[in-house]
Amino acid sequence: MSEKQSVLVVTTPTVPGYEIVKVLGAVSGLTVRTRGVGGKIVAGIEGVFGGEVTSYTSECEKARRESLSETD
């Protein structure tokens, strides 16, 4: 049996007493946003027919980009 290794997950560039040997990628997050009346109507119509609600998807994508830009 192989020995299990622990993984230390951090959001800082350095960790005192440790050597960083692998960077897995950026941490992402979301911001909460509200939609206007027109966007809610479009989302409601798309929801009736099923599938992806593109107006909400685009808002989530904008919110993610905004969150990532705030972490720089």
Enumerate the domain spans of the chain.
Answer: 37-70
Q: What is the pLDDT of residue 38?
A: 73
Q: What is the pLDDT of residue 16?
A: 92
Q: In terms of pTM, does the model score above 0.85?
A: no
pLDDT-based confidence at 2, cuts 50/70/90?
A: low
- Ramachandran quadrant class, 51 (left: phi over 0; alpha: psi -120 to 50; beta: rest): left
Q: What is the pLDDT of residue 28?
A: 64
Q: Encode pLDDT of 17-62 as tens digits.
A: 988 888 887 766 655 565 677 777 776 776 677 766 677 778 888 8
Three-state SS string over the chain comes to CCCCCCCCCCCCCCCCCCCCCCCCCCCCCCCCCCCCHHHHHHHHHHHHHCCCCHHHHHHHHHHHHHHHHHCC
Q: What type of residue is 35?
A: R
